[in-house]
Amino acid sequence: MPRHKRGFDVDAARRALVKADPAFRPWVRSIGRIDYSSDWGRPFDVADALARAILYQQLSGKAAATIVGRVEQAMPEPRFHHRNLERLSDAQLRACGVSGNKTLALRDLARRDKAGEIPDARSLQYLDNEAIIAKLVPTRGIGRWTVEMMLMFRLGRPDILPVDDLGVRQGVMLLDGLPEMPQPKALMLRGEAWAPYRTLASFYLWRIADFRKEAVKRSQD
């Protein structure tokens, strides 16, 4: 069974991307180098990462960080392992600011983690992208997008394109000068040109979308 390396050569990917799609060239020149390789080498606990992703859903970063901090303090140790979550009652989670739906999701995650249904980080190295998604999305509160973020930012898989992501779609709209954001199916077809480095393309598309937001904000000041 082949082992998937964590991370990829960012500089080689950038050169391949601008060669495959010259539309990226001025943006890459303006934005500069994007590199998350320091995160790709760090050890991580899959269940812990998924629990944190659940808690961050549909909240601002600041609000979510506050809730995560409260839950960490309530647990015996600041790790979202099933043994630690099992020691917290639903009432304790609510007191930390965790919603009812997210509490149910954490309970399902803890149950699956305890049953050995959540693979550890080492096991993920021997699974392809779709196999990882298939293993993790049955967990309540974990969708394809959440797993794709793990594949990109934790595992450094080089060819992930989250076609449902709003920021990526906004980035493509600016990249191609479109009147509106492309639909996921159209984005998937458009992104074929960026393979096998669609992850880096996505990183740049997020930055391109941020550029637009900043421009709008400056015009309003």
Residues known to be catalytic: 165
**Helix axis angle, 144-153 to 46-56, nearest 10°:** 120
Cβ within 8 Å of residue 4, ≥6 positions away: 124, 125, 126, 127, 128, 155, 157
| CB neighbour class for 151 (10 Å; exposed up to 12, middle 13-18, buried from 19) | buried
Q: CA nearest 114: which of 92, 136, 144, 83?
A: 83
Cα–Cα distances (Å) from 213 to 107, 116, 170, in that order, read: 37, 43, 10
Cα 116 off chain centre by: 23
